[in-house]
Chains A and B, each alone.
Chain A
């Protein structure tokens, strides 16, 4: 089976890979590019653990084919921190105990960052609905929602 050559941008870097037509972007990120921060929890778009940005749109990498990324721009959890400097959401998720096992954390951080970029002052309800596609089984969401709201306030204050 002939493989497809794809040139794309991931976390700002130009990347080439070969994939089968049926490989998802998540398969490519995890198995070929060693970007294992995006997790496979369901492979059906129901858990959000593989959330990434594709051309500025929040998507599940399991619902995108690797071949579709040709010429596009992908951002993953691995690109969220700026070198040693964590994004305020990342820092606060640690400081405010907004994670337990951490398997959902990358997807939630990517999704929450996109929310705050679009809506710097979301209500609790808006945060809950925006993140409804990111399943977390450990926390009951309480500290996640609080931390996103508190980070939004902090970022508004800093801006």
Chain B
């Protein structure tokens, strides 16, 4: 096994394209666990954190571009990002412990394609995109399309994600992410739900995104749940309809973390609670 620290995106692509067994190292909080457990044996580890600019959060077209090397802790410390996307940030900040926060990245969480990644639903609900570098150049893709199933992502050989882009915020918009875990910290989500809303001037929901994690092989964008909110002021009936749509959309499995019935129920509960939270935040949004 070799260890490489490319300084440029091109150099990283060259290394990744050269060997099928090359693996990207960003935060390493998943990669090292799998290495130690003997689940993977890469030929080369490509540490992308020394690529210039890869660990920066930059304003772009009124939105935010978050580099693939930005730790979730750094996201939490970024006031502008927090103000625009509280749900995305709270999702990112729920991954692991304080120690893990110092290393883990949203892009890593996304590309590992675990069904329960905490940072993914809020990105999906927000309509985020990623920028992908590869042998054929650069392309953008919706975050929703990256996970293809447990452990499988849409990246082609030699490609890696260099950043996430969160679009410009409309006035009166906000998001929220809630997850259920058995303890208060340190668990993988049993169910996760993100809601993103944009309101009319009178407080009616103009636009919404509702996304569920851990209840299907990959993150879900639940159009029916969003439609239940659109045109309403998130009254109890709308929230109940949103919850019912979330429960109906969930196709979870029984495993060591939860049962089918539990996950479907809680998907609805979290959708209702997250929608209310996002709505309340959007109402209070001064911009």
Q: Do A and B come from one complex?
A: yes
Residues of A whose CB lies within 8 Å of any CB of B are: 1, 4, 20-22, 24, 43-46, 48, 51, 54, 57-60, 62-65, 67-68, 70, 111, 129-134
Given contacts A20-B1, A57-B71, contact A62 B98 (CB under 8 A): no
Given contacts A22-B1, A60-B99, contact A45 B29 (CB under 8 A): yes
The A-contacting residues of B in range 100-140, CB under 8 angstroms, are 100, 102-103
> Given A45, A64, A133, which contacts B185 in the complex, CB threshold below 8 Å?
A133
Docked complex Cα distance between A63 and B96 (Å): 12
B135 CB to nearest chain A CB (Å): 24
A45 touches B47 (CB 8 A): no
Q: What are 16 A-B interface contacts by the 8 Å CB criterion?
A: A21-B1, A21-B2, A45-B29, A45-B97, A45-B100, A46-B97, A58-B98, A59-B99, A59-B103, A60-B99, A60-B103, A62-B36, A63-B33, A68-B28, A68-B49, A132-B98
B186 touches A46 (CB 8 A): yes
Residues of B whose CB lies within 8 Å of any CB of A are: 1-3, 5, 25, 27-29, 32-33, 35-37, 45, 47, 49, 71, 73, 96-100, 102-103, 184-186
B29: A residues at CB distance < 8 A: 45, 63
A-B interface, 10 closest residue pairs, ranked by CB to CB distance from nearest:
A133-B97, A132-B185, A21-B3, A57-B102, A21-B1, A67-B3, A60-B99, A44-B33, A59-B102, A63-B32
A45: B residues at CB distance < 8 A: 29, 32-33, 96-97, 99-100
> Given B25, B33, B99, B186, which contacts A111 in the complex, CB threshold below 8 Å?
B99
B102: A residues at CB distance < 8 A: 54, 57-59
Given contacts A24-B36, A63-B32, A64-B28, contact A48 B1 (CB under 8 A): no
B32: A residues at CB distance < 8 A: 24, 45, 62-65
A155 CB to nearest chain B CB (Å): 19
A48: B residues at CB distance < 8 A: 97, 99
B103: A residues at CB distance < 8 A: 57, 59-60, 63-64
Docked complex Cα distance between A70 and B4 (Å): 12
